[in-house]
């Protein structure tokens, strides 16, 4: 039995939450379906850990769906990079679900809760599928599975605020346009190579050489995924979607959805097209680099002026995605390491912060910053979690944010890109401003008249603090994450260089 | 005059791509320019259909028949894979449309309109009208 | 509705062939063009026609939404469950060869079962969608026709 | 217990005290006792280390490897030991004083105050013992964050604004410049360890050295080098014990200490001298000394005047490093100790005046010397020490700095130091002079019934003041030992061929 499970781990990783989703809907009661979802997610997480352990040394697991030969059938392929991303996704889900129980009960009517958890599981299955599959078209299908579930999840915030509906609608339009662009790009690649398997694509593209179709394909994929990962200026869907989605959903999405999209981008850029693809290198440096830098500043500045805490954090996410993209554009191993390690670091940090926002909403009934005066005294643990997460966002030492900044600046300095290094730091100073605005209100401002707020329940506080703890633990001892990210980067780097050698 | 012939050939020989381009741009334009939420969805559908056509025309092998096994060994078949892919994409598209329409229905129920500018106006009022803070739940 | 006899008769004539045709498409999908997606839609279309003529309430009596939701879930489970079964039998996920000794039979069995699940899900999802949207609209009076 | 454990203990005691403080917060007497005991215990842990370092030991311990090759670790050398001794030693009087002050001034949230205070001390000791620049940076930031609530303590709009300036400048400089400098150092040297003779020699292109040094010099905002000195006056909104902590014990000293460390162990004095990378810094520091002194002259607020005095005095230490001679490092290091002693006394006096008479302006002090003779006597002693008159401690550090300037052939700098001393006289001495010799103004300030009750400050405030003033004198006569000790700061690379 164990051997059987072990042999099919990659399939189970996706299938488990996928099968669980309809069961969850059939179970019918909020509590029951929540408990069921929790168990399933725990198992999914265990599978991710197992996959991570198996690939940590460098083995690549290749799993053939339906037993078809590799370039013909769909391949699930796990290497260091996506094992790491799988771990992030399922790990975040494992922590968000226990947290969700109370806040979902407060935000969503009881009869809708089973469907909420169904959508949640579907979303997880989709995200895991995006990450694990080695087939370009399969990525699209899973992308849409997760996106459709996400639209529904975001829209379920409408029981609290009707703006969730328009947010979800806008997200849907932009997300679908993005996904369709992606399919067009994949179609172009298929036209050239006649294959959809990512590894096979890489070889055949290298054989085929550059052409205008290939360039079109690259651009379509870049824009398509750019829409999904909220690359500036394609981010317009994100702030409202994050701000009005139910708090648990926001925490989960912030930790995972954009991360999976970034992973797809990494995969296409460096496994399929390769470092040495000149058109890509030019595009990254001429277009993506400036956009990433603008995102770092523009989004942070907008974040400073937000009154809604969740919206503020959403804008901050756009800025952080700017950092991740910036790391890519360096096209060096250190730069890639920075991006990959920031995937993890930002997931942990942002999840914690959005969870804090959820705790505020549950206890204080609002996450409007101007109404959070003195909340540091009423909800000391929650607010302390915010402060710790905020430090990580700023990039202070002993938090994961620092590790990311370290690698990013190091990568910039290695290339001798002075201004970029200084800009990275300057934009993290903007983070000081928007984090500190909240800190000042929470601790130094008197509470509004007649408010009764009590500390968030333990079921929410513990997951929040686990995320905070992770962001501190991996800030103090970043050996595991930085080595994992470094190895994933060097694997991408090595494989990618062989391909384009004439 | 042979130059023109080549040009014409160039254009006519790729008519499926031109069709795809026109459809895609039409769809995208509708999606972006229309204020009516339903029309946006219509545009989105046209846009997606363009992609379906791109794929399907791509799978066509000149002189090939439908990819169903025949008795004749030297039959040329069209490439069936794009069809299969697009079948999936169509399903995804339907699901997306359904979710979008459902959202529009709910928006209409909550806002009383499906015109984007009117909705934006309402949302602007929610933000800045009568001192309501953004973070507040709206009953 | 009673006096719209043309509609009633036509629909009575059309619905059974539609259902049969759907089943045909469904169960010949492994050899000829067809399969669960198409069959499911045709199958659902028959019910939609029924509802157009007899009203949404009549449809929800025949196919209550709760049942449809369960069927949709069940269809997915059949699909995914087949994969799990093949896995349990020692092949890959959805590796049909484990289902029977003769590879061709194995493939056939696998596809039929999986497509059945697909068809079931598609039909019930289509119907649920129709019901969800249709029940939002105002009821039509007879004189509106 | 070996020395390595003592290092951890010296940091752990103040770092863990906050938990005890939080637990005992409901009983003020118990809490304050905890605070005092912690300060004594910390000093007790530091003292054996001092003796060991004097004997030539270099205790070291590394805690955790954060990233491959990047370690949080401690290693003690003479300079750090000096700073740790100053910080932990002066914590005792400050702790006593703050009890008296906080109660006397009826401040709120005394528990939070004590907690942040202890964390700040812990990070100061962490800075002192840091074995590499990375560790130092971590504690540097902890110090910034932990002192923010202290500055904002009063929670008035004014306090918030001051705290905002404080945080903004310290954060901006440390993240924008210091961190970049740190990563750059790591990039070229492959390490951030403090090593005798520096780690950059032979690795850094001399043409870039001034830029890297600039990143460091401006990055270490706590050294209050102009034009990044604004935070210091802004932080004057804090309660006076905080000012004492900021200006004498922890924050600014951490800044200049880092500056000395960077100069000695990262660049290496030899490297700086050879490349002339620090020449510009000499002039900037000199300008900073003079300008800040002149600005101090214009301030009527007592604490603001002292703040600008600090800005000026800190630049002495930066100057000592920038001169790039051994005597400069010694003079700078000595100034850390002597200035700490003098400035803490001055600030405690300022606080005492506030507690007893609620006066903050210099122009209101007329005649107050007769009511608070001890306070003002101590003030005078400390002021003379800052000015640099014998027999007070400040004289020596200025002397060595002048020697250093002569060593470096910077004769103009000697002139600058002299002019600066005159300016010191001009802005410090009028204060006690007014208090002792002018008649109290009869209108509004002293005429009412309340003022007649003015008497000497609470004993708990007065004792530390006397102690610090006494220290200024004692330090003058024991300076030989300190000089000998500072000679042991390694300047050249240990293993020369």
pLDDT tens string B109-128: 888 888 888 888 888 888 77
Asked whether residue A52 carries a pLDDT value surpassing 80, the answer given is yes
Contact state of C76 with A15 under an 8 Å Cβ cutoff: no
Res D497 pLDDT > 50: no
Evaluate whether residue D187 is within a structural domain: yes
Find the CATH number of the domain harbouring B116. 1.10.287.3510
Residues of D whose CB is below 8 A from A333: none
Q: Where are the domains of chain A?
A: 301-492
**pLDDT tens digit sequence for D385-413:** 888 887 888 888 888 888 888 888 888 88
Residue A477 has its nearest CB partner, among D64, D171, D175, at D64
Would you say residue A278 has pLDDT above 90?
no
Using CA atoms, how far residue D56 sits from A500, B1, D88, in Å, is 59, 97, 21
Residue C136: its chain B contacts at CB < 8 A? 105
Q: What is the pLDDT of residue D471?
A: 84
- DSSP tag of D27: S
pLDDT, residue D449, reads: 43
Q: What is residue D451's predicted lDDT score, i.e. its pLDDT?
A: 47
Q: How far is CA D86 from CA A25, B78, D92, D485, D486, in A?
A: 67, 86, 10, 14, 14
Residues of A within 8 A of C72 (CB-CB) are 22
For residue C104, the distance in angstroms to the closest alpha carbon of chain A comes to 14
Question: What integer is the mean pLDDT of C49-54?
Answer: 88
Q: Please report the residues numbered 100 through 119 in chain A whose beta carbons come closer than 8 angstroms to any beta carbon of chain B.
A: none
Residue A305: strand, helix, or coil: coil
Residues 307-326 of A with CB under 8 A from B: 307-311
Please compute the mean of the pLDDT values over residues C90-109 and round it to a whole number.
Answer: 80
Note the pLDDT of residue D495.
52
B91–chain C Cβ distance below 8 A for any pair = yes
Residue D496 lies in a domain: no
Distance between CA atoms of residues A492 and A339, nearest Å: 13
Q: Is pLDDT above 60 for C98?
A: yes
A269-279: average pLDDT: 83
DSSP assignment of B28-95? HHHHHH--BHHHHHHHHHHHHHHHHHHHHHHH--TT-B-SS--S-TT--B---HHHHHHHHHHHHHHH
DSSP 8-state symbol, D373: H
The pLDDT score that the predictor gives to residue D447 is 43
The pLDDT value given to residue A178: 93
- D261 domain residue, yes or no: yes
Cα of A131 to nearest chain D Cα, Å:
27
Which of A379-388, D83-92, D468-477 has the largest mean confidence?
Answer: A379-388
Q: Give the dihedral sign, CA A60/A65/A67/A72.
A: negative
pLDDT at res. B25: 92
Q: Is B55–A187 a contact, with Cβ atoms under 8 angstroms apart?
A: yes
| Size of the A and D interface in Cβ pairs below 8 Å | 73
- pLDDT for the residue A481: 85
Q: Which of A109, A152, A161 to mutate to test the interface with B (most CBs of B within 10 A)?
A: A161
Q: Is position B137 within any domain?
A: no
* Residue D448, pLDDT score: 45
The 3-state DSSP class for residue A64 equals: strand
pLDDT digits 0-9 by tens, A318-359: 999 999 999 989 888 889 999 999 989 999 999 999 999 999
Q: Is residue D78 part of a domain?
A: yes
Q: Which of residues 58-77 of B touch C (CB under 8 A)?
A: 66, 68
Residue C65 sits at the chain A interface (C-beta within 8 Å): no
Q: pLDDT of D236-284, one tens digit each? A: 888 877 777 776 678 888 888 898 888 888 888 888 888 888 888 888 8
Whether the pLDDT of residue C38 is over 90: the answer is no
**What local confidence, expressed as pLDDT, does residue D450 receive?**
46
Average pLDDT value over all residues in chain A: 88
Q: If you measure CA to CA, which chain D residue comes closest to A417?
A: D184
Q: How far is CA D344 from CA D17, D116, D121, in A?
A: 23, 19, 15
Q: pLDDT category, A467, cuts 50, 70, 90?
A: very high
Closest residue in chain B to residue C38, using alpha carbons only:
B87
List chains touching B (3+ CB pairs under 8 A): A, C
Q: Residue D208, CB half-sphere, CA atoms under 13 Å: how many?
A: 13
Check residues C75 and B136 and name the one with the higher pLDDT.
Answer: C75
Long-range CB pairs of D162-167 (<8 Å, 24+ gap) are D162/D234, D162/D235, D162/D236, D162/D237, D162/D238, D163/D235, D163/D237, D164/A436, D164/A440, D165/D230, D165/D231, D165/D234, D165/D235, D166/D231, D166/D234, D166/D235, D167/A432, D167/A436
ipTM of the complex as predicted: 0.86
Subunit contact A19:C81, Cβ cutoff 8 A: yes
Query: In terms of pLDDT, which residue wins out, A468 or D444?
Result: A468
pLDDT tens digits, A4-48: 777 788 888 888 998 888 888 888 777 888 899 999 999 999 999
The number of C-beta contacts closer than 8 angstroms across B and C is 12
Chain A residue numbers touching D157 (CB-CB < 8 A): none
| Lowest mean pLDDT across B45-54, D431-440, D447-456, D486-495 | D447-456
pLDDT-based confidence at residue D384 (cuts at 50, 70, 90): confident
Q: With bands split at pLDDT 50, 70 and 90, how would you rate the model's confidence at B79?
A: confident
- The confidence score (pLDDT) of residue A153 equals 93
Please judge whether A18 and C80 are an interchain contact, meaning their C-beta atoms are less than 8 angstroms apart.
yes
Q: Do D175 and A429 touch (CB under 8 A)?
A: yes
Distance from CA of A68 to the nearest CA of C (A): 8
In a domain, B64, yes or no: yes
Share of chain C above pLDDT 70, in %: 92
Instruction: Name every chain A residue with its beta carbon within 8 A of the beta carbon of B54.
Output: 184, 187
Flag whether pLDDT at D44 surpasses 60. yes
* Residue-level pLDDT at A123: 94
pLDDT at residue D198 greater than cutoff 90: no
Chain C nearest C-alpha distance from A189 (Å): 27
The reported pLDDT for the residue numbered C2 is 59
Task: Give the residue with greater pLDDT, A502 vs D293.
Answer: D293
What is the count of structural domains for chain D? 1
Least confident among A215-229, A267-281, B32-46: A267-281
Give domain status of residue B135, yes or no. Answer: no
Residue D494 placed within a domain: no
Residue with tokens 């930031």: D141
* Predicted local confidence at residue A315, as pLDDT: 93
pLDDT of residue B2: 54
Identify the pLDDT of residue B4. 62
Instruction: Check if A478 contacts D (Cβ < 8 Å).
Output: yes
Interchain CB distance below 8 Å, C37 and B87: yes
Distance between CA atoms of residues A402 and D300, nearest Å = 42
Q: Does pLDDT of A286 surpass 80?
A: yes
Write out pLDDT tens, residues B88-99. Answer: 899 899 889 999
How do residues A145-189 score in pLDDT, each as one tens digit?
A: 999 999 999 999 888 888 899 999 999 999 999 999 999 999 989
Shortest Cα–Cα distance, A444 to chain C (Å): 51
The percent of residues in chain D predicted with pLDDT above 70, rounded, is: 95
Select from A66, A112, A133, A135 the residue whose CB has the most chain C CBs within 10 Å, as the one to mutate to test that interface.
A66
Interface check for C21 against chain A (CB to CB < 8 A): the answer is no
**Mutation site, D132, D179, D228, interface A, largest A CB count within 10 A:** D179
For D108-157, what is each residue's pLDDT tens digit? Answer: 777 888 888 888 888 988 998 888 889 999 999 999 888 888 888 888 88
Chains interfacing with A (3 or more CB pairs < 8 Å): B, C, D
C94 touches chain A (CB under 8 A): yes
Residues of chain B contacting residue A141, judged by C-beta atoms under 8 Å apart: 88, 92
Predicted local confidence at residue A184, as pLDDT: 92
- Min Cα separation B2/chain A (Å): 25
CA distance D51 to D330: 19
Name chain D contacts of A432, Cβ cutoff 8 Å.
Answer: 167-168, 171-172, 175
C interface with B, Cβ–Cβ < 8 A, is 32-33, 37, 122, 129, 132-133, 136
| Whole-number pLDDT of residue B62 | 76
Nearest chain D CA: its distance from A27 CA (Å): 46
Q: Could you list the residue range(s) of the whole structural domain that residue B48 is in? A: 2-130
Q: Residue D156: phi, psi to the nearest 5?
A: -80, 160
What's the pLDDT band for A293 if we cut at 50, 70, 90? very high
Cβ–Cβ gap C92/A66 under 8 Å: yes
Residue A252 pLDDT = 92
Domain hosting D300: range is 3-487
- Residue D444, pLDDT > 60, answer no
User: Which of A19, A36, A75 is most worth mutating to test chain C (most C CB atoms within 10 A of its CB)?
Assistant: A19
Per the CB < 8 Å rule, is B133 touching A307?
Answer: yes
Q: Count structural domains, chain B.
A: 1
Q: Which residues have C-beta within 8 Å of that of residue D443, sequence separation ≥ 6?
A: none
pLDDT in tens, A196-234: 888 888 888 888 888 888 889 999 999 999 999 888 888
């Amino acid at each position: 039995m164990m051997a059987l499970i072990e042999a099919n781990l990659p399939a189970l990783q996706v299938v488990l939450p996928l099968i669980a989703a309809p069961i969850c809907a059939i179970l019918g009661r909020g509590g029951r379906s929540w408990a069921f979802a929790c168990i399933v997610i725990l198992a999914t997480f265990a599978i991710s850990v197992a996959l991570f352990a198996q690939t940590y040394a460098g083995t690549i697991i290749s799993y053939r769906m339906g037993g078809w030969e590799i370039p013909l059938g769909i391949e699930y392929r796990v290497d260091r990079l996506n094992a790491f991303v799988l771990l992030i996704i399922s790990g975040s889900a494992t922590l968000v679900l226990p947290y969700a129980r109370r806040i979902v009960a407060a935000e969503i009517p009881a009869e809708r809760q089973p469907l909420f958890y169904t959508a949640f599981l579907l979303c997880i299955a989709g995200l895991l599928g995006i990450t694990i599959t080695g087939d370009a078209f399969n990525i699209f299908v899973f992308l849409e599975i997760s996106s459709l579930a996400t639209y529904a999840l975001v829209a379920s915030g409408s029981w609290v605020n009707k703006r969730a509906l328009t947010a979800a609608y806008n997200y849907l339009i932009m997300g679908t346009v993005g996904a369709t662009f992606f399919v067009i790009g994949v179609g172009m690649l298929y036209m050239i190579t006649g294959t959809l398997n990512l590894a096979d694509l890489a070889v055949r593209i290298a054989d085929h050489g550059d052409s205008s179709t290939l360039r079109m394909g690259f651009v379509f994929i870049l824009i398509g995924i750019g829409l999904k990962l909220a690359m500036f200026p394609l981010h317009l869907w994100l702030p409202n979607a994050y701000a009005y989605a139910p708090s648990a959903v926001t925490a989960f999405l912030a930790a995972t959805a954009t991360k999976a999209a970034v992973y797809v981008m990494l995969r296409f850029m460096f496994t399929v097209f390769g470092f040495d693809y000149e058109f890509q290198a030019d595009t990254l440096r001429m277009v993506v680099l400036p956009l990433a830098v603008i995102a770092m500043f523009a989004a942070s500045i907008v974040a400073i002026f937000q009154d809604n805490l969740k919206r503020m954090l959403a804008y901050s996410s756009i800025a952080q995605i700017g950092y991740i993209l910036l790391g890519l554009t360096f096209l060096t191993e250190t730069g890639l390491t920075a991006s990959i390690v920031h995937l993890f670091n930002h997931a942990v940090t942002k999840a914690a912060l959005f969870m804090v926002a959820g705790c505020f909403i549950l206890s204080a009934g609002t996450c409007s910053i101007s109404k959070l005066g003195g909340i540091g005294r009423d909800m000391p643990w929650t607010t302390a979690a915010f402060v710790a997460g905020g430090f990580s966002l700023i990039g202070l030492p002993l938090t994961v944010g620092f590790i990311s900044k370290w690698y990013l600046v190091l990568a910039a300095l290695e290339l001798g890109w002075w201004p970029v290094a200084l800009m990275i730091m300057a934009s993290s100073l903007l983070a000081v401003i928007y984090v500190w605005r909240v800190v000042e209100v929470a601790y130094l401002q008197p509470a509004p008249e007649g408010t009764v707020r009590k500390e968030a329940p333990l079921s929410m506080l513990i997951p929040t603090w686990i995320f905070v703890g992770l962001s501190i633990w991996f800030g103090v001892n970043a050996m595991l994450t930085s080595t994992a990210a470094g190895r994933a980067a060097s694997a991408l780097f090595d494989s990618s260089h062989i391909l384009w050698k004439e | 005059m042979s130059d023109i012939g080549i040009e014409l050939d160039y254009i006519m020989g790729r008519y499926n791509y031109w069709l795809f381009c026109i459809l895609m741009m039409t769809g995208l334009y509708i999606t972006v320019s229309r204020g009516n939420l339903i029309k946006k969805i219509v545009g989105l559908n046209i846009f997606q259909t363009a992609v379906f056509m791109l794929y399907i025309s791509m799978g066509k092998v000149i002189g090939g028949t439908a990819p169903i096994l025949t008795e004749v060994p030297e039959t040329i078949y069209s490439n069936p894979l794009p069809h299969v892919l697009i079948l999936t994409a169509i399903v995804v598209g339907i699901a997306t449309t359904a979710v979008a329409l459902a959202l529009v229905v709910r928006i209409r129920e909550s806002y009383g309109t499906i015109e984007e500018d009117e909705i934006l106006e309402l949302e602007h009022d929610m933000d800045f009208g009568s001192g309501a803070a953004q973070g507040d739940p709206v009953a | 509705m009673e006096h719209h006899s043309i509609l009633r008769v036509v629909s009575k004539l059309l619905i059974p062939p539609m259902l049969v045709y759907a089943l045909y498409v469904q169960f010949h999908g492994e050899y000829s063009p067809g399969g669960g997606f198409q069959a499911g839609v045709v199958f659902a279309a028959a019910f939609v026609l029924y509802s157009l003529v007899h009203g949404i309430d009549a449809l929800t009596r025949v196919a209550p939404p709760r049942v449809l939701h369960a069927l949709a879930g069940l269809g997915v489970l059949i699909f995914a469950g087949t994969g799990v079964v093949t896995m349990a039998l020692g092949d890959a996920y959805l590796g049909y060869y484990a289902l029977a000794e003769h590879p061709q039979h194995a493939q056939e069995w696998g596809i039929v079962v999986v497509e059945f699940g697909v068809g079931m899900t598609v039909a019930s999802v289509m119907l649920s969608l129709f019901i969800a949207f249709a029940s939002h609209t105002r009821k039509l009076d007879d004189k509106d026709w | 217990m070996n020395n390595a454990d003592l290092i951890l203990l010296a940091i752990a005691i103040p770092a863990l005290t906050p938990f005890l403080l939080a637990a005992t917060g409901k009983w003020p007497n118990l809490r304050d006792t905890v605070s005092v005991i912690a300060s004594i215990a910390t000093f007790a842990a530091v003292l054996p280390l001092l003796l060991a370092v004097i004997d030539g030991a270099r205790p070291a311990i590394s805690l955790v490897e954060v990233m491959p090759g990047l370690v949080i670790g401690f290693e003690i050398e003479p300079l750090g030991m000096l700073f740790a001794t100053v910080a932990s030693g002066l914590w005792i009087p400050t702790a006593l004083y703050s009890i008296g002050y906080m109660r006397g001034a009826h401040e709120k949230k005394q528990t939070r105050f004590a907690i942040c205070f202890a964390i700040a001390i812990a990070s100061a000791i962490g800075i002192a013992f840091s074995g590499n620049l990375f560790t130092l940076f971590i504690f540097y930031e902890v110090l910034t964050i932990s002192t923010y609530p202290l500055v904002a303590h009063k929670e008035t709009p004014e306090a918030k604004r001051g705290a905002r300036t404080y945080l903004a400048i310290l954060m901006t400089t440390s993240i924008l410049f210091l961190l970049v400098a740190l990563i750059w150092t790591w990039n070229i040297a492959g390490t951030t360890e403090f090593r005798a003779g520096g780690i950059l020699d032979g690795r850094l292109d001399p043409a870039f050295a001034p830029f890297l040094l600039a990143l460091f010099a401006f990055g270490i905002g706590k050294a209050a080098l102009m034009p990044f000195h604004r935070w210091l006056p802004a932080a004057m909104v804090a309660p006076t014990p905080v000012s004492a902590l900021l200006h004498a014990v922890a924050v600014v000293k951490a800044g200049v200490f880092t500056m000395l460390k960077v100069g000695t162990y990262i660049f290496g004095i030899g490297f700086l001298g050879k490349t002339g990378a620090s020449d510009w810094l000499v002039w900037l520091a000199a300008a900073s000394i003079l300008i800040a002194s002149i600005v101090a002259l214009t301030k009527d607020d007592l604490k603001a005047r002292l703040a600008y005095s600090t800005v000026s005095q800190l630049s002495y230490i930066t100057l000592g490093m920038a001169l790039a001679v051994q005597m400069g490092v010694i003079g700078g290091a000595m100034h850390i100790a002597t200035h700490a002693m003098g400035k803490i006394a001055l600030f405690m006096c300022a606080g005492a005046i506030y507690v007893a008479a609620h006066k903050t302006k210099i122009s209101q002090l007329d005649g107050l010397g007769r009511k608070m003779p001890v306070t003002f006597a101590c003030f005078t002693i400390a002021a003379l020490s800052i000015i640099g008159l014998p027999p007070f401690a400040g004289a020596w550090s200025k002397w060595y700095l002048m020697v250093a300037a002569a060593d470096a052939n910077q004769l103009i700098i000697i002139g600058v130091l002299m002019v600066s001393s005159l300016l010191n006289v001009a802005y410090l001495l009028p204060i006690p002079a007014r208090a002792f010799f002018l008649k109290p103004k009869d209108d509004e300030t002293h005429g009412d019934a309340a003022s007649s009750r003015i008497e000497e400050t609470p004993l708990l405030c007065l004792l530390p003041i006397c102690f610090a003033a006494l220290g200024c004198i004692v330090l003058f006569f024991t300076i030989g030992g300190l000089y000998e000790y500072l000679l042991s700061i390694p300047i050249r690379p240990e293993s020369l061929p």
